[in-house]
Amino acid sequence: MVRHHQLISLWQRCRAEGREQVEAIELSPELFVQVVVTPFQERGAAGYVVIIQDLTQVRRLQVMRRDFISNLSHELRTPLASLRAVVETLQEGALADPPAAERFLRQAENEVNTMTQMVDELTELSQIESGQVRLRLVPAEMASLVEVPLERLRPQAERAGVALVVDIPGDLPETLVDVERVQQVITNLLHNAIKFTPPGGSVRMSAAQREAGDDRASEVIIEVHDTGIGIPKDDLTRVFERFYKSDRARTRDKGGTGLGLSIARHLVEAHGGRIWAKSKVGKGSSFFFTLPVASD
Ligand code: ADP
């Protein structure tokens, strides 16, 4: 009845050796199982019990964990290598040249900052993922929510020569949110938009109310649009994964950990919202997310 050759040969081996056999078998790319074949005797007749256990999910988690660890060590290796180079250059004589020494120290400080940020973001991500972050939900007005992130990032936009435009209608309903967490989402999106937009470009933040279907409450949809370098189509969903950076060759000099959007996605989903992106390479990107409206 079974045509799968690995299953058949497992059973044949069990018959030949008279002992239980265990093997992990990939039945298809989406189905990974563990098979146990056990012989038994009853009233002189020989039989075999075959137990097939679906381990697809377990394996997916194992692969994720492996990728995560290899990404993490890769991401730490770069700043560490750079830090080592700085220390060696100083040891080899740069200390005697104060202007150069100062430059190298600044570079060392940058690398330490990058690693610190990465560790902070990892801690944050692991707390969010393990459900340790409790949201303190309160009704909040959109205009006041965006104020803090906008003020924080305005100097950066000015330095980058990027115009920051805000279009939040005054009559939007209040949303039910954890203020600091949502401000963090907005900060991450604005920060990216500014970072990936060349001088002379613009970043526009807007919001609108959207009536959801009959059985769902209405929501506010927030958009951060930029006229920056854009994201290739295949990367649009992947940028929300941990450590994922689109097109490393173009974005290498921008710094960053690849964790910001992953954190943003978790926080938005914890609020019951969704987050997604649209983009055209060379034209710009739009990031959208939704927040539930506070009922009166
Ligand atoms: P980081 O910005 O720290 O690298 P993120 O998780 O915030 O990490 O973003 C992941 C990647 O998504 C970035 O490295 C970049 O390749 C891409 N990306 C995010 N936002 C934008 C944007 N507005 N324009 C172009 N690329 C973007």
Sign, Cα dihedral of 231, 154, 275, 72: positive
- What pLDDT is recorded for position 166? 96
Q: What is the pTM of this model?
A: 0.73
Choice from 225, 246, 254 to test ligand 1 binding pocket (greatest atom count within 8 A of CB): 246
Query: What average pLDDT does range 181-188 have in this prediction?
Result: 94
Q: Which residues of 139-161 are buried (b: 16+ CB within 10 A; e: fewer)?
A: ebebeebbeebbeebeeebeebe
DSSP 197: S
Sign, Cα dihedral of 292, 146, 132, 70: positive
**Ligand 1 center to 258 CA (angstroms):** 7
Report pLDDT digits (tens) over 94-115: 889 999 999 999 999 988 988 8
Choice from 261, 262, 267, 268 to test ligand 1 binding pocket (greatest atom count within 8 A of CB): 261
**Ligand 1 center to 256 CA (angstroms):** 8
Angle at which helix 98-129 crosses helix 260-270, to 10 degrees, equals 30
**Ligand 1 center to 263 CA (angstroms):** 12
Query: What average pLDDT does range 163-184 have in this prediction?
Result: 94
How many Å is the Cα radius of gyration of the chain?
A: 27
Percent of the chain whose pLDDT exceeds 90: 63
Categorize the per-residue pLDDT at 258 as very low, low, confident or very high, splitting at 50, 70 and 90.
confident
pLDDT of residue 218 exceeding 90: no
CB 191 within 8 A of CB 156: yes
Categorize the per-residue pLDDT at 255 as very low, low, confident or very high, splitting at 50, 70 and 90.
low
Categorize the per-residue pLDDT at 74 as very low, low, confident or very high, splitting at 50, 70 and 90.
confident
Instruction: Give me the amino acid identity at 202.
Output: S
Segment 272-281 long-range contacts (CB within 8 Å, at least 24 positions apart): 273/219, 275/185, 275/240, 276/236, 276/237, 277/231, 277/236, 277/239, 278/236, 279/230, 279/231, 279/233, 279/236, 280/230, 281/229, 281/230, 281/231, 281/232
**Protein residue with its CA nearest to atom 14 in ligand 1:** 245
Check if 251 has its Cβ closer than 6 Å to any atom of ligand 1: yes
CA 287 – CA 80 distance, rounded (Å):
32
